Amino acid sequence: MFKVNPYRPGAGLMPTYLAGRDEEINNVEQMFQALILNIPMQSVIFSGLRGVGKTVLINKLQKIAEVKGIFCKHIEVESRNDFISQIAACSQMFLREISTKEKVKNLVKKSLDAIKSLVISFDPDGSTFSLSIQDRELYKSNNLTQSLTDVFTSVGEMAYETETPICFFIDEIQYMRTEELGALIAALHRANQLGYPIMIIGAGLPKIYKMLSDEKTYSERLFIYKEIDSLTFKQAENAIIEPARPFKVTYTEDAVKKIIEITKGYPFFIQQFCQLVYQNTDTNYIGINEVNDTVDLYYKTLDSGFFKVRYEKCSDGDKKFIFAMVKCGELPCTISNISKQLGKRGKSLSPARAQLINKGIIYPVKYSELDFTVPDFSGFIQRLEEYKEWCKSKNKMV
């Protein structure tokens, strides 16, 4: 018999009930109110592991901003794509939207020229700048930071004059190139200094804090940083119970406790587990037996999808580094412990470490300590036959 399943595991899919993010939403909503009054606000950066709901949160905030009349555009940064072209396209869309307003018609050409200069000047593959012969005289800037700053200040001026604030929602910030991130920070900083209502709501893995501070010393004042973590017990309980309530499906107390224990309160894991237990239950009652019967399927589903996608990005050398991290027994682990597991000098592991950080598999917790960006990734590794064989081969060598 067909029944509607209210649980929605997926990359950035909005759950039918968004649990545990009221404080973040309310705080940013107040900032939107100030932005509407042409008062520049600090931008906001949400950081957290995979599966905590960062994308869901910024999507929710974008909907709120759009209702308030703020011009919004979502950008997902990808290592293979050019962020500069994306931000230029978003700026052009803003110009088209407000170009009919009489008092800014004289400013439109200035902004379009700035955008054209930006796109012409930056070559993402070589991180170099070039101008064609016919454009050389008009577009003299070959500095990415200056070019993007020109775009933000000219577009920001129009936003101010038309009382149409701008908010860019930028996801996966950790994949931005160094020169792109530096230019973005500088451009936003200058627009804010001039009092223009431009704001960024960003999200990314934990490494973005260091990325931002390494680029510009003033970034700590430019952004409000908020770590997004797993849900509290009560929040997780609501995430489990509330989606099923309209369908008259209830959970027993011990079933809820068991689900939270297994998922550790991570929003994506809760959605995944509850979707499975819900679809495999024929009654309107979900108890501990139904939960226990779902555990194996839950891990099998994660192992063949959520975890596997990330694991398959890894080279053989990457995998051995990961195996060594898990073998350390406790996370986060130090480079020295990893090197002992691999029988190598610590410095020789630097390339593998950097590669795994760039791939978004691990992140530096603090100096010389590393952890996985994916919750419970060590459990997945321990279930792999490949890891078990590696451990056996190590034991034989001892």
pLDDT tens, position by position, 27-71: 999 999 999 999 889 999 999 999 999 999 999 999 999 999 999
Output the six-digit token pair for 287.
Answer: 């108890």
Domain-embedded: residue 106: yes
Q: How far apart are CA 33 and CA 25, in angstroms?
A: 12
Q: Is pLDDT at 79 greater than 90 in this prediction?
A: no
Report the range of poorest mean pLDDT among 5-9, 40-44, 83-87. Answer: 83-87
Percent of the chain having pLDDT more than 90? 67
Element (H, E) at 371: strand 369-372
- Specify whether 161 is located in the same domain as 119: yes
Q: How far apart are CA 44 and CA 28, in angstroms?
A: 8
Percent of the chain having pLDDT more than 70? 87
Q: For the chain, how many structural domains are there in total? A: 3
- Specify whether 270 is located in the same domain as 162: no
Domain-embedded: residue 99: yes
What is the tally of helices (H) and strands (E) in the chain?
18, 10
Report the range of poorest mean pLDDT among 188-197, 266-275, 388-397. Answer: 388-397
Predicted pLDDT at 126: 46
Residue 5 CB-half CA count within 13 A: 17
Domain boundary residue, one of 227, 253, 279 = 227
Predicted pLDDT at 205: 95
Domain span at 273: 233-304
Mean pLDDT, the chain, integer: 88
- Specify whether 183 is located in the same domain as 279: no
Q: What is the pTM of this model?
A: 0.88
- Specify whether 282 is located in the same domain as 359: no
Q: Is pLDDT at 148 greater than 80 in this prediction?
A: yes
Domain-embedded: residue 32: yes
- Specify whether 205 is located in the same domain as 243: no
Q: Which residues are CB-contacts of 105 (< 8 A; sequence separation ≥ 6)?
A: 99
Domain-embedded: residue 6: no
- Specify whether 124 is located in the same domain as 167: yes
Predicted pLDDT at 273: 99
159 neighbors 166 (Cβ within 8 angstroms): yes
DSSP state of 14: P
Beta pairing partners, 169: 74, 201
- Specify whether 222 is located in the same domain as 238: no
Predicted pLDDT at 247: 94
Average pLDDT over residues 366-391: 94
Element (H, E) at 109: helix 105-121
Helix (H, G, I), strand (E, B) or coil at 205: coil
**pLDDT category of residue 12 using cuts at 50, 70 and 90:** confident
CATH of the domain at 215: 3.40.50.300
Predicted pLDDT at 110: 58
Domain boundary residue, one of 182, 212, 227 = 227
Domain-embedded: residue 275: yes
Average pLDDT over residues 14-33: 97
**pLDDT category of residue 246 using cuts at 50, 70 and 90:** very high
Greater confidence, 157 or 304?
304
Predicted pLDDT at 129: 35
